[in-house]
Structure 1
Amino acid sequence: MATESDKLRERLNRATAHLDPPYAVVDLTAFDANAAALLPRAGGKPIRVASKSVRVRELLGRVLGRPGWAGVMAFTLPEANWLVRTGVTDDALVAYPTADRGALAELAGDEELARSVTLMVDSTDQLDLIDTVRPPGHRPPLRVCIDLDASWRPLRGRVHVGVRRSPVHSARAAGALAAAIAARPGFRLVGLMSYEAQIAGLGDAPPGRAALAAAIRVAQRRSYRELLARRGAAVTAVREHAELEFVNGGGTGSVAATSADPAVTEITAGSGLFGPTLFDAYRAWRPTPAAFFACAVVRRPAPGLATVLGGGWIASGPAEDTRLPAPWLPTGLKLLSSEGAGEVQTPLAGRAADDLRLGDLVWFRHAKAGEVCEHVNELHLVEGDRVVGSVPTYRGEGHAFL
């Protein structure tokens, strides 16, 4: 009797039989289901789509056309400018500070872009850099958002849990930066953002590691309580100097928890649309896998082994096994610890290897979401057992933003 995995493999194989691998696909039914499933978790607050996790204009437009989704969190300023100019959005929040002088000059020289793009800052040094590109009085006011560091620092700061982002950690520091921005001509403070990576980006159920999972859950609970109080105080401090349009927080892994924070007005999510393997390690919600890439078997080096051409689509982050792509279909395949996923070939072992012939497909899932798009010029959109369209990735449109 065919399993659900068998049916998915057969469906993907039928849909793409006319294509030559390697290629990547998105199952639109799963993509739309994930977009719908995130909404109730957001508790009625709008979700801003993280473009870094999608990197396809067609799919960004698809999710933004759904009720409850509003605005883009871009990962670079050139990307934000491009998304506004091409009509994808009129509300682009750049998630990271920029030193791109060309993109700043483009932003400062265009009234529409200046109305639609919000820059991220965590220091007055960044304001100084912007002023060197085009000084106040020679540009429209530029929208800025303060990045509040959301990491947890227990034991009086001697321990750091989370990512290394903004130097603005306390409510007092946020208020001081807000006052400095308010005193500067040429800028308008409109938002505050904080990304709790130790909650949103860290799975609390790593397979086979019960002790680590328990430790992660304790740390996440305590971190959340601390951030709830500190973020609320920071918002109050910042609002003494500016009328905030939004307070942004969260990510796919913390949508429900972040939306429960009364200080937060909008949530960010993106990876949950594709459902990469990193989110298999979450208890609260696991998206349906929607994005896959296929490689062809080209060698049978020994019994129990099958080798595909390519496959080394490694995710960013710490150099560990969790960043490797996972051979997904047929089930029962695994990477070799001695070789991993190679740029030009990837040998696979397991009970399914002996059933694979030259030319057969192995379907992989990427560890992250949008990064898969850096390896292909287009994504093939699958509905049922048909490809219903092919849309260019950022790379396919000639853009490598990072």
Structure 2
Amino acid sequence: MEKFEKAFQHMERPFAWLDFDALDQNIDFVNCLATKPVRIATKSIRSVGVLKYVQEKLHHCAGFMTFTAAESVYLIEQGLDNILLGYPTVEENSIKKLLTYNKEGKDITFMVDAIEQAQLLQSYAAALQTTANICIDINVSTDYKWIYFGSKRSPLDTLQKLKNLTDAIAQLPNVRIHAVMGYEAQLAGVPDLTHATSAKVRTKGMLIRRLKKQSVNKITSFRRLAVAHVKSVAPLAFVNGGGSGSIAYTCAQKEITEVTVGSAFFASALFDHYDSLQLQPAVGFALRVTRQFDDHTFVCQGGGYIASGAIGEDRAPVFLNVRYQLLPLEGAGEVQTPFIDPTGSLKIGDTVYLRHAKAGELCERFSVLHTTRGDTYEGPILTYRGEQQCFL
């Protein structure tokens, strides 16, 4: 934090920061761990400048996984290519723009898990006299009956459902099966919690690790069978899987040709609890202390940057200085945040540095990431918001 004080002494608070030293270490870690090409998850970054920076430093970049059709259009217009739209879309104008870019030679793949999505692509592609490349999203979650372990998104959780879809898609002349994705959310997106401090969270962590271990066989067997089936009806350009929390496992699977990584580059707070990751906090935000309530309770301006997902303590931002703690009954506030400094060493005017629980969502709050190497200020990089873009 001392290096930040020197690098950012001229900045007004609040601001978002990016530590290039930490980002480079995280990219190097991914390069070492990923034995297959990496597709960058744009939702975890949300800055064209940073996306291009990471792409240049990856040893083998497969392209980008985007989160909306409008974002995909924007990134293509900024010079990016090899786009996998990671979620189904039914937005007419953006689909038509993407199909036009595809017709002009851009590499764009649409995600589907239902015939209605494919039929919509068929109608637009036929009108434009082109072909829509699609990726079929299969569901590799594990249903233990007493608990559903994974994500409730794609309905394609059996080979029969998958066959029904591929048979229906075969009747669409302007839609081409191009790829398959099987995202193991229960491995990639659920922290291990090995080093949790409370007994309740440690118990939860033990259950999570057991469920992860048991679900591996289901993921592997179903995804391989699913990929084999799709290959029997169409040649595949790629098979995508994984996420930041399962890089090594996913790369070891023979049916996988590429792995998606996003949060690992920024190393947001939720990823502190993964046993397999050795990452450095690369992105966060700085707040000014503006009040002192008592000897150990201070108040900073802003701070209410709560992450999406199931509501819980793990969605709140965390302090870089681990001694500082949010108040359990107030949390991170909309315009001010009280917190505890047990040493009582802070004073009004000081700066506290925090990290968001999830990676890219911080960039929806700030227009600029102010960057540093060592204790030297390196200048600003615009976020999507700074480029006057807002997609979700």
Is TM (by shorter chain) over 0.5? yes
Indicate which of 70, 81, 85 corresponds to 1:90.
81
**Structure 1 residue 365 corresponds to structure 2 residue 365:** no
**1:218-257 equivalent positions in 2, closer than 5 A:** 218-257=210-249
**Which moved further from structure 2: 382-391 or 177-186?**
177-186
Q: Which residue of 2 aligns with 1:39?
A: 31
| Counterparts of 1:37 and 1:293, CA distance in 2 | 23
Amino acid at match of 1:224: V
Q: Which residue of 2 aligns with 1:295?
A: 287
Contact 2:121–2:175 at 8 Å: present in 1 too? Answer: no
| Pairwise CA distance, 1:338 | 1.0
**1:332-343 equivalent positions in 2, closer than 5 A:** 332-343=323-334
Contact 1:30–1:290 at 8 Å: present in 2 too? Answer: yes
| Pairwise CA distance, 1:213 | 1.8
Indicate which of 45, 54, 57 corresponds to 2:45.
54
Amino acid at match of 1:365: R
**Structure 1 residue 16 corresponds to structure 2 residue 8:** yes
| Counterparts of 1:274 and 1:113, CA distance in 2 | 33
SS of 1:355 mapped into structure 2: coil
Q: Which residue of 1 aligns with 2:317?
A: 325
Q: Which residue of 1 aligns with 2:139?
A: 149
Contact 1:296–1:309 at 8 Å: present in 2 too? Answer: yes
Q: Which residue of 1 aligns with 2:154?
A: 166
Amino acid at match of 1:348: F
Give the total of aligned pairs: 387
SS of 1:236 mapped into structure 2: helix
What value does the CA root-mean-square deviation take over the aligned residues? 1.5
Q: Which residue of 1 aligns with 2:296?
A: 304
| Counterparts of 1:111 and 1:212, CA distance in 2 | 46
Amino acid at match of 2:365: H
Amino acid at match of 2:374: G
Residues 70-105 of structure 1: CA distance to partner in whole angstroms, max 9, x if unpaired? 200001111111111211x21010110012111012
Indicate which of 177, 189, 195 corresponds to 1:201.
189
Residues 178-233 of structure 1: CA distance to partner in whole angstroms, max 9, x if unpaired? 23223211111110011111110111125133322221111101111111011000
Q: Which residue of 1 aligns with 2:168?
A: 180
SS of 1:239 mapped into structure 2: helix
Q: TM-score, normalised by structure 1?
A: 0.93
| Counterparts of 1:110 and 1:370, CA distance in 2 | 26
Percentage identity across paired residues of the two chains: 37
| Counterparts of 2:326 and 2:278, CA distance in 1 | 23
Indicate which of 103, 107, 111 corresponds to 2:94.
103
Change (3 A) 1:111 1:291: closer
Structure 1 unaligned spans of 5+? 1-8
| Counterparts of 1:96 and 1:299, CA distance in 2 | 44
Structure 2 unaligned spans of 5+? none
Contact 1:114–1:143 at 8 Å: present in 2 too? Answer: no
Contact 1:81–1:113 at 8 Å: present in 2 too? Answer: no
SS of 1:147 mapped into structure 2: strand
| Counterparts of 1:367 and 1:36, CA distance in 2 | 22
Amino acid at match of 2:8: T
Indicate which of 118, 123, 129 corresponds to 2:120.
129
Residues 117-176 of structure 1: CA distance to partner in whole angstroms, max 9, x if unpaired? 1110000111233345x2515331011100011211235xx6421111100112332233
SS of 1:373 mapped into structure 2: helix
Contact 2:29–2:278 at 8 Å: present in 1 too? Answer: no
Change (3 A) 1:242 1:362: same
Residues 255-296 of structure 1: CA distance to partner in whole angstroms, max 9, x if unpaired? 001111111110000101011111111111131111120000
